[in-house]
Amino acid sequence: MAAAPSPLEQQADPNNSSYIPLPDWYFLFLYELLKYEFAAAEYVVIGTVIIPGLGFGALLLAPFLDTGTERRPSKRPITTGLMLLGIIATVWLTYKSAAHVDWEERAKYSVEAVPDVEIDEEHPGYEVYANNCLSCHGDSLQGNPGMAPTLVGIPYNAEQIKDIAKNGIGEMPANQFSGTEEELNQLAEFIVSTNKQASGEGEGEGESEGSEEGSH
Ligand code: HEC
């Protein structure tokens, strides 16, 4: 069946308006229903109340509506037909909904994908980061769904990070950094040292299995 994975995602960020929330897979069919014109916008009551209401109302009233003594499904075409219709519609809508979603893209932002690092807020580069980069890349360099990727586990050295801060890269616009050359150095130093710590190269403690302290 089209049971799609809905991984636990990062903490909700009210400032991120580009993030599209998605219900768990067992609600996807109801969500998909709302994409049809007859059940959306001014008719949204049809999709949210009337159709689900009719469905559950019919289930509730089934013992009273269906008083026949016949037990064989083939002898009860209306009841059996409605049931099959309900099942087929639910499976179809779930499938349609799941097929729309870029699961790989979403998985990037799942809790498991979030790098586990201790952010050194005392580092002189942290403040520079907070002023220039945090709004997109997140307060722990974890990235922001639909906005910017994580900066932990990136392959760049300090020179390259300085270059990206000034000139941008891919979809990241140029001139995101403003400040002195010294601040730029501190910023790059901060990102590089956080990356080293994440890969276990950090000074002391961490090691490569420093993943117990996962509190953000
Ligand atoms: C307006 C939002 C925004 C701001 C502010 C921003 N970035 Fe980015 N950044 C992005 C996006 C989007 C990407 C992804 C670019 C791509 O791959 O197309 C990115 C990518 C990056 C990358 C490459 C990551 C990778 O995995 O390849 C680095 C390094 C980076 N940013 C550093 C910074 C630094 C340093 C700052 C602060 C000076 C900063 N960014 C500020 C949006 C932003």
Does the CB atom of residue 162 touch ligand 1 within 6 A? Answer: no
pLDDT of residue 115: 65
Report helix angle 77-100 to 51-65, nearest 10.
160
Q: How far is the CA of 39 from the centre of ligand 1 (A)?
A: 39
The structure's pTM equals: 0.60
Q: Phi first, then psi: give them for residue 148, nearest 5 degrees.
A: -155, 150
**Which residue's C-alpha comes closest to atom 30 of ligand 1?**
164
What homologous superfamily does CATH list for 115-198? Cytochrome c-like domain (1.10.760.10)
Q: How is 80-101 classified by DSSP, letter by letter?
A: HHHHHHHHHHHHHHHHHHHHHS
Domain 25-100 grouped into CATH 1.10.287:
yes
* Residue 48 DSSP code: I
Written as one string, the DSSP assignment of 46-71 is IIIIIHHHHHHHHHHHHHHH------
| Ligand 1 contact via 149 beta carbon (within 6 Å) | yes
N residues, the chain: 216
pLDDT of residue 92: 95
Q: Is 132 in the pocket of ligand 1 (CB under 6 A)?
A: yes
Instruction: Tell me, yes or no, if the two domains 25-100 and 115-198 fold the same way.
Output: no
Encode the chain (216 residues) as per-residue pLDDT tens digits: 445 555 667 677 777 777 777 888 899 999 899 989 888 888 989 999 999 999 899 889 988 988 888 889 898 888 899 899 999 999 999 999 999 888 877 776 666 666 678 888 999 999 999 999 999 998 889 888 778 888 988 999 999 999 999 999 999 999 999 999 999 999 999 999 999 888 776 544 444 444 444 445
Domain boundaries, the chain: 25-100, 115-198
152 close to ligand 1 (CB < 6 Angstrom): no
> Which residues, 6 or more positions from 112, have their beta carbon under 8 angstroms from its beta carbon?
7, 8
Separation of CA 148 and ligand 1 centre (Å): 6
Q: Which of 13, 169, 177, 193 to mutate to test ligand 1, by most ligand atoms within 8 A of the CB atom?
A: 169
* Whether residue 22 has its Cβ less than 6 Å from ligand 1: no
DSSP string, 127-162: HHHHHHTHHHH-TTS--BTTTB--STT----HHHHH
